[in-house]
Amino acid sequence: MTRIKDWMDEFRNAPASEGLGIARTLVLSAVVGMVAGLGAVLLVSLLQLSQWFFLGCLANYTPTTPAGEPEMFHHLPAFGGEVRRWAFLLLPAIGGLVSSVIVLKFAPEAEGHGTDAAIEAYHFRGGKVRPVVPPVKAVATALVIGTGGSAGCEGPITQIGSGFGSAVASMLGLPVRERRVLMAAGMGAGVGALFHAPMAGALFAAEVLYRDLDLEYEVLVPSIIASVSGYAVFSKVFGFHPLFETPENFFYRPRMLLLYILLAVILAGGARFYTWSFYRAHDVFKRLKIPHVLKPALGGLLTGIVGFFFLPAIGSGYGVIQDALRYEPHFAPGAGKAAFMLLAGVFALKTLTTSFSVGSGGSGGIFGPAIVVGGALGGAAGIAFSGLLPSWSVPVGAFTLVGMVAFFGCAAKTPISTILMVGEMTGNYRLLVPSMWVCIIAYMLSRKVSLYRSQLPSRFDAPVHRGRMISGALNSVTVKHLLEAP
């Protein structure tokens, strides 16, 4: 036992840059990633079960899903016939109320969209995430989305992954710096697994911490290890294939870059509107003089009212984007106008329902809805360009895909990881050129706008790096240099 204790002390205290310290980083990163992948499996299963009961049994509504998302509970009875629209006047409000009660009782920090809380924990709380947060966030989010709320799963999965990484580091007594790294690695692993995008998930964890084009490079290696192991666990259950199915679109006409410039301007404006709408709702709900527990219920009620009139504005919305990716301009006479109105409605009304569902304090992410809203706006722009320039044969599916990339990339200030993420989510890298073109232009046009308020401008502004930067500067400067300075 003494030898084991001595070895554990040596394993715990070895410098991170030496042999045993490197082994510690690799092993712990892989373990954190596997738990994040397992958490993603449980989260998706819980969400599908919640949707089957609330939307299926009670509302007789089965939302469409992306082609790469298999049903975990396909043996359960399916529902058909007329949708009970009146149920949406109640279900999202009930889901918001019950999830709010759970969150406020067990983990108040689990309300809202989650990723911002993980960023704040990294910068300002030493990478500490309470162990109770991940399960509370998962249950609350499944209730919000399962009852028709407009939110995403990435909020809880970032807190599941980051929470376990933080717990492992705390249990082993590792330094604060390594706790932050494992926390961020768990966050990247969860996102990479959930969206079938291991490379992008690893980069996302390093990029999302800052508003400028900066990376937390200490996070990269652990995040890559964690993201690969998390993806392997998740895909063992859900399959090793992209989340979305896309047609054979590819870039071969340079003149299309002119239309992609216009698309970048449209998406930058759309991202500004999405962000403004979300935080406007967040601030209004925060000032409301009603019991805090009732605010997500009110947000759910407003979401349900919108959903009563426009069903695609509720739930995850991925099925709408899957259909838009397959759109062909010659389906049928008048199909273009109907498709344009549908996608424009998804952009406007899903922005509204996301602001109500999550901005009110409901539990859920805003990454997923941003992907849907961006894809809808890109697809609507593609249809409009196709009608205005019929001889150009504008590929609407390509504009939908690029819209997914650029919208979230500029809204979240993560252009590099998002370009890779959407490529992995769709299995389509043939549109990397227009994706990079539009994403960076849209990013530059929306520099001061971000979905995540806890992001810092750059590493120079991070409290965790301030001491080392000052120390490094002082070590390289002598009194003689200071006296000789002009």
The answer to whether residue 442 scores a pLDDT higher than 90 is yes
Query: Which residues are CB-neighbours of 344 under 8 A, at least 6 positions away?
Result: 376, 380
pLDDT at 484: 64
Mean pLDDT over 279-293 rounds to 92
pLDDT at 239: 87
pLDDT for the residue numbered 459? 85
The answer, yes or no, to whether residue 351 has pLDDT greater than 60, is yes
CA–CA distance, 275 with 282 (Å, rounded to integer): 10
Contacts with 1 (C-beta within 8 Å, 6 or more apart), sequence order: none
CB 164 within 8 A of CB 181: no
> Residue 393: its pLDDT value, please?
87
Task: Give the pLDDT confidence score for residue 90 in this predicted structure.
Answer: 92
Q: Which pLDDT score, from 0 to 100, does residue 156 have?
A: 79
The pLDDT assigned to 482 comes to 54
Is residue 474 scored above 70 in pLDDT? no
* pLDDT value at 19 more than 70: no
| Band of residue 426 on the pLDDT scale cut at 50, 70, 90 | confident
pTM listed for this prediction: 0.90
Residue of higher predicted confidence among 397 and 4? 397
Look up residue 252 and give its two tokens.
């071969």
pLDDT at position 256 is 93
pLDDT in tens, 444-453: 998 888 889 8
Q: Name residues whose C-beta falls within 8 Å of residue 296's C-beta, 6 or more positions apart in sequence.
A: 96, 97, 99, 100, 111, 144, 357, 360, 361, 362, 363
Instruction: Yes or no: say if 205 and 185 are a contact pair by the CB < 8 Å rule.
Output: yes
Q: For 213-239, what is the mean pLDDT? A: 92
How far apart (Å, rounded) are the C-alpha atoms in residues 319 and 297?
A: 26
Q: How far apart are CA 157 and CA 44, in angstroms?
A: 10
pLDDT at 1: 63
User: Which token pair is 30?
Assistant: 């892989």
- Judged by average pLDDT, the poorest of 11-25, 273-287, 415-429, 463-477 is 463-477
Greater pLDDT, 89 or 247: 89
Are 205 and 184 contacting, i.e. CB atoms less than 8 angstroms apart? yes
Indicate whether 465 pLDDT > 80. Answer: no
The three-state secondary structure class of 158 is helix
pLDDT > 90? residue 309: yes
463 vs 263, residue with greater confidence: 263
Average of per-residue pLDDT values in the chain: 86
Alpha carbon distance 67, 319 (integer Å): 8
Section 369-393 average pLDDT: 92
Question: Where does the pLDDT of residue 300 fall: very low under 50, low under 70, confident under 90, or very high at 90 and above?
Answer: very high
Separation between Cα atoms, residue 183 and residue 128, nearest integer Å = 8
Evaluate if residue 439 carries a pLDDT over 90: yes
Q: Does residue 260 register a pLDDT over 90?
A: yes
pLDDT band per the 50, 70, 90 thresholds, residue 468 = low
Residue 116 has what pLDDT?
84
| pLDDT (mean) for 10-38 | 80
Average pLDDT over residues 392-414: 91
pLDDT band at 257 (very low <50, low <70, confident <90, very high): very high
Confidence grade of residue 473 (pLDDT, cut at 50, 70, 90):
low
Range in 33-47, 114-128, 229-243 with the lowest mean pLDDT: 114-128
- With a cut of 60, say whether residue 472 has pLDDT above it: no
Say what the pLDDT of residue 336 is.
78
Residues 6+ apart with CB under 8 A from 143: 50, 95, 98, 99, 102, 363
What average pLDDT does range 243-251 have in this prediction?
A: 83
What are the structure tokens assigned to 396, written together? 């609407």
pLDDT exceeds 90 at position 375: yes
As a whole number of Å, the end-to-end CA separation of the chain is 63
Directed axis angle between helix 154-172 and helix 115-124, to 10°? 30
Q: 62-66, 141-145, 220-224, 361-365: lowest mean pLDDT where?
A: 62-66
% of the chain residues with pLDDT over 70? 89
Q: What is the mean pLDDT of residues 32-36?
A: 93
Contact 416, 203 (CB under 8 A): yes
Residue type, 25: T
What are 133-185's pLDDT values in tens digits? 888 888 898 999 999 999 888 777 888 888 888 888 888 888 888 889 999 99
